[in-house]
């Protein structure tokens, strides 16, 4: 079975080399009977890989059980894993089998294994080395034949140095290490995953399909996703249920990404003045809004430089330039930021020799603008979208200019 077959069978989406490498390691180690330690951040899909290893092994017809070691109280974890005898502790009204006895001949997945108490770690080490264990309250040695797959989202080396995890157990579990990449390490897969999740949830809740524009996609892929695939799935479900606008831009997408966690702005250096998160959020949105207009401005300037009749091009497009800079009204919090500087455009653009010439030229601009707009509207029979394209400006700018000139 190759990597693509595994993806199809277990619903894994993505083409990242790191993801493919992890699947390849799982395929190679599955037929053996050695222990595997899966590492990766919370929500990255570690349990899926434990299922891959079990179903490709000789134990695939045996039992499989996943145990979250961090969710079981320290006082009962030994009983849960190894069982207990009647009367061995308060509340033990009858004997009980543990997971290692129930899953004999199969596979046990110990998730968050670094959360195990040191005493339980010693018991687990004995099971791994000899296949033997004792029930709580019993002196009779029990035998089991279980394959152990463990997982953790912690740095086990740090836990070993701090004395919270046994070094001998670490090396016994880590016979074959398997690292699952975080979602931010496989950015090329983020949009593919989102499309799959959003399709599933819109179908589940019978809601209209959702589309993202380029800027929304960029925001989606540039977010750090600390919660990994689990967080991305939750965001997709929120959008499928709550979002009224089914064609999302960057500002709409930003509502579903926590601003205190999702900023792609430069990280604040240690010791610098503490930033206001609301200021970051405002600045982030302003930059997105400016991007499209700035691209249009660059195009206009290039056209003006290349044109043989600068005055005509200037008259045609000065309204767009003026409108662009009237639209950029930064909130007070952003204006005060020392990291952002907005420069006003040069008034002459290399075409005027004096301030007086600028003033004289501006007196006739309104008439020229009005005439050009009227001609464009007449040519396209009042269709403003086509007229705006003819003039080389945005439809929004054309609407505002018509209103300013009283042409309604």
Q: What's the pLDDT tens digit per position in 89-103?
A: 877 888 889 999 999
The pLDDT value recorded for residue 187 is: 94
Q: What's the pLDDT tens digit per position in 336-355?
A: 444 444 444 444 444 344 43
Domains assigned to the chain? 3-181 (3.40.50.300), 185-262 (1.10.8.60), 306-404 (no CATH)
Instruction: Give the Cα separation of 353 and 276 in Å (integer).
Output: 44
The pLDDT value recorded for residue 75 is: 84
pTM of the model: 0.62
Instruction: Give the Cα separation of 108 and 102 in Å (integer).
Output: 10
Instruction: Give the Cα separation of 402 and 164 in Å (integer).
Output: 72
Say whether pLDDT at 335 is over 90. Answer: no
Q: What's the pLDDT tens digit per position in 293-327?
A: 676 676 666 666 655 455 555 555 555 555 555 55
- Cβ of 246: how many Cβ atoms within 10 Å? 14
Instruction: Give the Cα separation of 14 and 341 in Å (integer).
Output: 40
Please name the residues in contact with 180: beta carbons below 8 A apart, sequence gap of 6 or more. Answer: 22, 38, 39, 40, 41, 44, 45, 46, 49
Query: What are the Cα distances from residue 10, in Å, to 55, 61, 352, 378, 386?
Result: 10, 17, 68, 60, 50
Count of residues making up the chain: 408
| Confidence at 54, pLDDT banded by 50, 70, 90 | very high
Rounding to the nearest 10 degrees, give the CA dihedral for residues 377, 383, 386, 390.
0
């Amino acid at each position: 079975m190759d990597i693509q077959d595994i993806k199809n069978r277990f619903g894994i989406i993505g083409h990242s080399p790191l993801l493919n490498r992890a699947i390849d390691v799982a395929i190679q180690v599955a037929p053996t009977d050695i222990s595997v330690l899966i590492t990766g951040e919370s929500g990255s899909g570690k349990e899926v890989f434990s299922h891959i290893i079990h179903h490709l092994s000789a134990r695939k017809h045996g039992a499989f059980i996943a145990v979250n070691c961090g969710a079981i109280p320290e006082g009962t974890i030994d009983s849960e894993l190894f069982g207990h005898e009647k009367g061995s502790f308060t509340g033990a009204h009858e004997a009980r089998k543990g997971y290692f006895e129930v899953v004999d001949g199969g596979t046990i997945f110990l998730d968050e294994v670094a959360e195990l108490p040191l005493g339980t770690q010693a018991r687990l080490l004995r099971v791994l080395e000899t296949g033997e264990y004792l029930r709580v309250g019993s002196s009779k040695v029990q035998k089991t034949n279980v394959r152990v797959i463990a997982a953790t989202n912690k740095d086990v080396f740090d836990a070993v140095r701090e004395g919270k995890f046994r070094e001998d157990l670490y090396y016994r579990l880590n016979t074959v290490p398997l690292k699952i990449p975080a979602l931010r390490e496989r950015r090329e897969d983020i949009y593919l995953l989102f499309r799959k999740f959003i399709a599933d949830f819109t179908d589940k809740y019978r809601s209209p399909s959702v589309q993202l524009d380029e800027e929304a996609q960029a925001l989606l892929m540039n977010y750090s996703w600390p919660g990994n695939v689990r967080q991305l799935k939750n965001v997709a479900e929120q959008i499928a249920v709550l979002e009224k606008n089914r064609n999302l831009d960057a500002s709409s997408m930003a509502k579903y990404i926590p601003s205190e966690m999702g900023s792609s702005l430069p990280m604040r250096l240690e010791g610098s003045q503490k930033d206001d998160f609301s200021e970051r959020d405002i600045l982030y949105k302003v930059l997105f809004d400016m991007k499209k207009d700035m691209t249009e401005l660059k195009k206009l300037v290039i056209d003006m430089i290349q044109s043989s009749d600068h005055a005509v091009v200037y008259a045609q497009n000065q309204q767009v330039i003026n409108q662009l800079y009237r639209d950029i009204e930064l909130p007070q919090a952003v204006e005060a930021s020392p990291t952002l500087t907005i420069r006003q455009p040069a008034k002459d653009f290399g075409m005027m020799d004096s301030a007086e010439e600028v003033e004289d030229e501006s007196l006739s601009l309104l008439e020229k603008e009005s005439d050009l707009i009227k001609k464009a509207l007449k040519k396209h029979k009042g269709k403003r979208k086509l007229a705006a394209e003819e003039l080389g400006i945005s439809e929004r700018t054309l609407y505002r200019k018509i209103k300013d000139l009283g042409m309604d």
